[in-house]
Amino acid sequence: MKVLVVYDSMFGNTARVAAAIGDALRGDDEVAVMPVAGATPERLAEAELLFVGSPTQRFRPLPAVSELLGRLPGGSLEGVRVAAFDTRIVIAEAHNWLLSFMVRLFGPSAYAAPRIEAALRRAGGTPAARHEGFFVDGTEGPLRSGELERAEQWARRAAGANAIRAGVQVPRQAVSARTRVPN
């Protein structure tokens, strides 16, 4: 299966999540993990399983991710299983009344992942897993303890759902070596 993980990152946290997703799926699959700067709509359409991620900034993905998704023609991801993820702070710990109010007002759409998922669906992608957010401590991180393992599990579930639909047997163990990405 051709797996592509595309991400943008400000402080290295989303890059680490993307690397963990890629590491979780290495083995029998052809896996590529790449920054959004190297991605094109054509490259995304070649994937069988596509993950796209961004930090949440100002209630949305970073501009480069939004721009790439905006260039996807309708139907270009037909037959591609997709999964969206973001990195985000824990709002309850932000101690910012305006931020807390906005998240309550906008609900899940206050984060990048649901917006990414909506754009992937508009392009014809079929969700392989529900969008997911991975938590960081403070604005710059680091990632909370256990988030990389949670990202690996989420990726395996998305790949497993994809394989089941395609009639492919999924290996029970995946490589879990971490790729270090500098902040």
Residue 143 lies in a domain: yes
pLDDT tens digits for 36-66? 999 999 999 999 999 999 999 888 999 999 9
CATH code of the domain in which 59 resides = 3.40.50.360
- pLDDT for res 144: 96
Strands (E) across 98-182 are located at 126-127, 132-136
Residue 174 lies in a domain: no
pTM value surpassing 0.85: no
pLDDT greater than 50 at residue 172: no
Residue 181 lies in a domain: no
Q: By residue range, what is the domain housing residue 104?
A: 2-166
Number of domains comprising the chain: 1
SS3 state of residue 37: helix
Residue 178 lies in a domain: no
Residue 176 lies in a domain: no
Across the range 162-182, mean pLDDT stands at 37
pLDDT greater than 50 at residue 71: yes
pLDDT tens digits for 107-130? 666 789 999 999 999 999 999 999
- pLDDT for res 165: 43
- pLDDT for res 178: 31
Phi and psi angles of residue 10, each rounded to the nearest 5 degrees, phi first: -100, -45
Share of the chain above pLDDT 90, in %: 69
Query: 178 to each of 33, 47, 65, 173, how far by Cα in Å?
Result: 13, 23, 24, 15
Task: State the Cα–Cα distance between residues 153 and 83, nearest whole angstrom.
Answer: 13
Residue 114 lies in a domain: yes
